[in-house]
């Protein structure tokens, strides 16, 4: 049974809970309902809006608050509409009910990742507009599909569209992560994703014999080499308290395939790995390392890329950088401790940075356990509301960054 909205609930919280109830969950996200919700809110706030079709049936709503100086590049506030699947039996409350408990925690898929940020953007803009503000730089809000499945029918193609290029984005904000400490994490880069399948071929035969040069033996050597590398990176992270997870390379064995029967030695077997390469890794040298692991295992061992990102970029967090100065300056004025990090996974920021747009990943949720993709994903309403306050201070600063050489 759905919980009743208590009398006196903050209208921003009510709006947030409405958005959470829209089932934009994979494998069949209801993007139509989400877009109708966003367009309704655009009309209420008084924002221009357009629809950019990036793939057949996949549309990005773009909301615009024009600035006073169209010669300046714009500020982009990006968020994604989709959320990851749920396992209802592991949830305390229905993940699409947006149940709020007596303590003020809102339980729903998307509370942290990242429907909270979408509503915080909208509510901050609404508040500033209602107060009569205008700023030199135009502010755009994009709500993209399919981020949770790689962004291939979302941001990856959006940045190539003429409609996007016409936005003349100079700086972007996108999602970050919750922080269980007092500090707020902000992400200026992220690890490079390589999904790699190693395939080993060898002599087949009956399962009762000691067959030489089998696919399994050679594949085991590759797996052992990669897992030994994983252990070294893990030890490097654990032995240095100054390193965060995003600063080292992570790899996990995610799939093993092969075999036809219990008593048949297979001619082919494969192992798939999810590599997350730190930004300082030499990609060419690391690809050569993959070749070396195959060569060391023996004849007939090869690899192929299932996904290969080759454009890692780092957004400046130098004190002299105007965008970082504006962002960090507001946080300092609000007495918000910032902890700059490299994002350990992947977001749509990688496509923005690859297009030459500096981007920071920031979800204003401190003193909050990291529960994205987890059972019982939740967010306290006070943390959500404070995030609106933070964006209400951030947006004027970012939209008022003086003219830069890149604006011309």
- Count of residues in the chain: 408
The answer to whether residue 329 is domain-embedded is no
Which listed residue (123, 146, 147, 174) is catalytic?
147
Q: Which domain holds residue 390?
A: 11-176+347-407
Query: Does residue 186 sit in helix, strand or coil?
Result: strand
The verdict on 257 and 110 lying in the same domain is no
- Determine contact, residues 84/189, Cβ cutoff 8 Å: no
Q: Which two tokens stand for residue 42?
A: 């655009």
CA distance 3 to 107: 11
What pLDDT is stored for residue 6 in this prediction?
56
175 has catalytic annotation: no
CA distances from 327 to 211, 360, 405 (A): 63, 9, 19
- Paired strand residues for 46: none
Structural domain contains residue 196: yes
> pLDDT digit of tens for each residue in the chain (408 aa)?
344 455 689 999 999 999 999 999 999 999 999 999 999 999 999 999 999 999 999 999 999 999 999 999 999 999 999 999 999 999 999 999 999 999 999 999 999 999 999 999 999 999 999 999 999 999 999 999 999 999 999 999 999 999 999 999 999 999 999 999 999 999 999 999 999 999 999 999 999 999 999 999 999 999 999 999 999 999 999 999 999 999 999 999 999 999 999 999 999 999 999 999 999 999 999 999 999 999 999 999 999 999 999 999 999 999 999 999 999 999 999 999 999 999 999 999 999 999 999 999 999 999 999 999 999 999 999 999 999 999 999 999 999 999 999 998
Q: Considering Cα of 102, then 107, then 110, then 112, what sign does the dihedral take?
A: positive
**pTM of the entire predicted model:** 0.93
> Active site residue: 82, 348, 377, 381, which one?
82
* Within-domain flag for 337: no
Residue 53 annotated in active site: no
Contact 355, 208 (CB under 8 A): no
Which residues on adjacent β-strands are paired with residue 190?
A: 343
* Domain co-membership, 167 together with 209: no
Q: What is the pLDDT of residue 7?
A: 63
Q: How many domains does the chain have?
A: 2
| Same domain, yes or no: 160 and 207 | no
Strand partners, 343: 190
């Amino acid at each position: 049974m759905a919980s009743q909205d208590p009398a006196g609930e903050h209208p921003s919280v009510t709006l947030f809970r409405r958005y959470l109830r829209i089932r934009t969950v994979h494998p069949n996200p209801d993007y139509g309902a989400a877009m109708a919700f966003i367009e309704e809110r655009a009309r209420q706030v008084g924002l221009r809006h357009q629809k950019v079709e990036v793939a057949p049936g996949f549309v990005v709503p773009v909301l615009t608050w024009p600035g006073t100086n169209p010669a300046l590049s714009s500020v982009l506030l990006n968020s994604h509409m989709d959320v990851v699947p749920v396992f209802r039996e592991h949830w305390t409350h229905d993940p699409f009910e947006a149940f709020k408990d007596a303590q003020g925690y809102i339980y729903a898929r998307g509370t942290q990742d990242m429907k909270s940020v979408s509503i915080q953007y909208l509510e901050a803009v609404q508040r500033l507009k209602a107060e009569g503000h205008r700023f030199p730089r135009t502010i755009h809000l994009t709500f993209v599909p399919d981020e949770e499945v790689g962004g291939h029918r979302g941001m990856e193609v959006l940045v190539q569209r003429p409609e996007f290029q016409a936005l003349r984005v100079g700086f972007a904000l996108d999602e970050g992560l919750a922080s269980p400490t007092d500090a707020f994490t902000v992400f200026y880069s992220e690890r490079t994703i390589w999904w790699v399948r190693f395939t080993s071929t060898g002599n087949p035969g009956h399962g009762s014999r000691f067959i030489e040069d089998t696919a399994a033996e050679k594949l085991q050597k590759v797996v052992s080499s990669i897992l030994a590398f994983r252990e070294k990176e893990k030890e490097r992270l654990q032995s240095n308290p100054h390193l965060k997870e995003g600063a080292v390379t992570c790899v996990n064995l995610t799939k093993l395939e092969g075999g036809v029967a219990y008593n048949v030695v297979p001619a082919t077997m494969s192992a798939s790995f999810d590599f997350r390469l730190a930004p300082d890794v030499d990609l060419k040298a690391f690809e050569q390392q993959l070749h070396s692991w195959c060569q060391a295992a023996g004849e007939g061992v090869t690899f192929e890329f299932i996904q290969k990102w080759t454009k890692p970029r780092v957004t400046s967090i130098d004190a002299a950088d105007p965008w970082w100065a504006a962002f960090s300056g507001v946080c300092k004025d609000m007495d918000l401790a910032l902890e700059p990090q490299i994002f350990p996974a992947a977001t749509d920021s990688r496509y923005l940075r690859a297009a030459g747009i500096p981007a920071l990943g920031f979800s204003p949720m401190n003193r909050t356990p990291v529960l994205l993709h987890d059972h019982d994903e939740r967010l306290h309403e006070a943390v959500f509301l404070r995030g609106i306050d933070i964006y209400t201070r951030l947006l004027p600063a970012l939209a008022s960054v003086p003219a830069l050489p890149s604006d011309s």
